Structure 1
Amino acid sequence: MKFIQKSLFLLLFLSSGLAFGQITEDPEDRRNPGKEPNRATTPEGDPLPFSQRLRFGGGISGLSIGNPFSIGLSPVLAYQASERAVLGVGINYIYTRFRVVDASTNQRINLTANQYGGRVFGLYEIIPSVIQNLYAHGELETNSLQDTYKGLGVPITRTWVSAPLVGLTYSQRIGRLAGINLSALYNLNYNANTLQAYSSPWVFRISFF
């Protein structure tokens, strides 16, 4: 558990540092009076260079407090495709712990699982004239899951599971590209009777990019 706590702190530190590196005043003065600076073009309407559209960051996913306990870390690389659209890829890691009591010995046993995989996602700002920085969010996530928990004394096997997620993301901008993002997503493939990456069809995330 200490390893997970240290990993979480390190990811948040690095994500904050990367985000801070993007919180700069617009070097080409793309800010119009009373408006945010352009995200994908210059004042003349020319596309920004590829490097100036990239975002780096990460965040927390799959958080569940209690029994089972789970927490995920997800580094992200995103690209500002247009003023309203963002495309990206990410890496997932989720740690899960489930506590049970052995009926024969009356001892508590910690069962653990490690899940990992990747995702591709897209964001599109829905109604910027009414609510700025509110995005429709769609993504496809694929993870390698343990079929059984470690601690049962049986061989560990793995299964690849895909999950199409749809929902909304609100981004609180803290720079031209950087932001704190709150996402509420729904797993269209969720089935409580099959192996899943998350314990609920709803996936809530806090991320920085």
Structure 2
Amino acid sequence: MNHIQKLLLLTALLSSSVAFGQLTEDPEDRRDQGKDPLKTQTVDGQPLPFSQRLRFGGGISGLRFGNPTSIGVSPVIGYQATEHLIVGVGGTYTYTRYKGITNTGATVPIETYNQYGGRGFVMYEALPAIIPNLYLHGEVESTTVQAKADQTGQTASYSLTAPLVGLTYSQPISRRFGVNLTALYNLNDNLIARSIYGSPFIIRIAFF
């Protein structure tokens, strides 16, 4: 076998190896080819397993120190239904405490709020060729607030179901994780909603 034949044989073997690697590689490896990783299928067109389409994360909300003191958490589970559609569910919990000053000048707790609820949401990437990673966002959130007067022990509770619509911009970090900035408008804006959200316009930052 002369040198030219050896060179052709080596080239054929290398080409076969590269082709096989492209068929079996993880979608994340598409970045080496200058392409974004696929979200719902492998390079050869096979659908990804259910577990590889799930996205986990959440965020911290309502973080305030002083008067009032407040902190909230909001875990999220999302599912990549198609290349451009994400559906998911999430939970919320926020603890808030207000303080007052007595006649003697002492600072004491006067009201404590426990706010919790859940939501279901849909995100659709409407114009991926023009504005990638910008999603139309719709969700329904149900919230319950339990209020307690710390000095008297009296309690009260109220609930609200709010349909929210708006936009989410997602900055991908990996195929199944990103930073999400969401701007929503509450279609059920009323006095109870104002006591929960403070405004019909809601801004969130979440990681999933």
Fold similarity call, TM over 0.5: yes
Are residues 1:61 and 2:61 paired? yes
User: Residues 27 and 37 of structure 2 are in contact (CA less than 8 Å); yes or no, is this contact kept in structure 1?
Assistant: no
Distance, in Å, in 1 between the alignment partners of 2:52 and 2:63 is 32
Native 8 Å contact 1:184 1:203 kept in 2:
yes
- SS of the counterpart of 1:153? coil
User: Are residue 84 (structure 1) and residue 78 (structure 2) matched?
Assistant: no
Match of 1:97 in 2: 97
**Maintained 8 Å contact 2:194/2:200:** no
- Summarize deviations over 1:42-77 as a string: whole Å, max 9, x none: 223332110110011111234567755543210111
Q: Which residue of 1 aligns with 2:119?
A: 119
Q: Which residue of 2 aligns with 1:158?
A: 157
Distance 1:138 1:190 in 2: 16
Greater alpha carbon shift after TM alignment, 183-192 vs 79-88: 183-192
Q: Is the 8 A contact 1:62 1:205 kept in 2?
A: no
Tell me the distance in 1 between the aligned counterparts of 2:172 and 2:34.
15
**Helix, strand or coil at the partner of 1:51:** helix
Deviation track 1:140-189 (CA, whole Å, cap 9, x = no partner) reads 1111212x443251421322311111111111101111101111111111
The more displaced of 169-178 and 63-72 is: 63-72
**Does the 8 Å contact 2:28/2:175 carry over to 1?**
no
C-alpha change, 1:144 and 1:70, in structure 2 (3 Å) is same
Match of residue 3 from structure 1? none
Root mean square deviation, CA, Å: 2.5
Higher strand share: 2
Unpaired runs of 5+ residues, structure 1, are: 1-25
| Equivalenced residues, count | 182
Structure 2 unaligned spans of 5+: 1-24
1:129 deviation in Å?
A: 1.0
- Residue of structure 2 equivalent to 1:142: 142
- In the superposition, the TM-score normalised over structure 2's length comes to 0.76
Higher RCO (C-alpha under 8 Å, 6+ residues apart): 1
Question: Equivalent residues in 2 for 1:192-207 (5 A)?
Answer: 192=191, 196-207=195-206
Q: Secondary structure at the match of 2:46?
A: coil
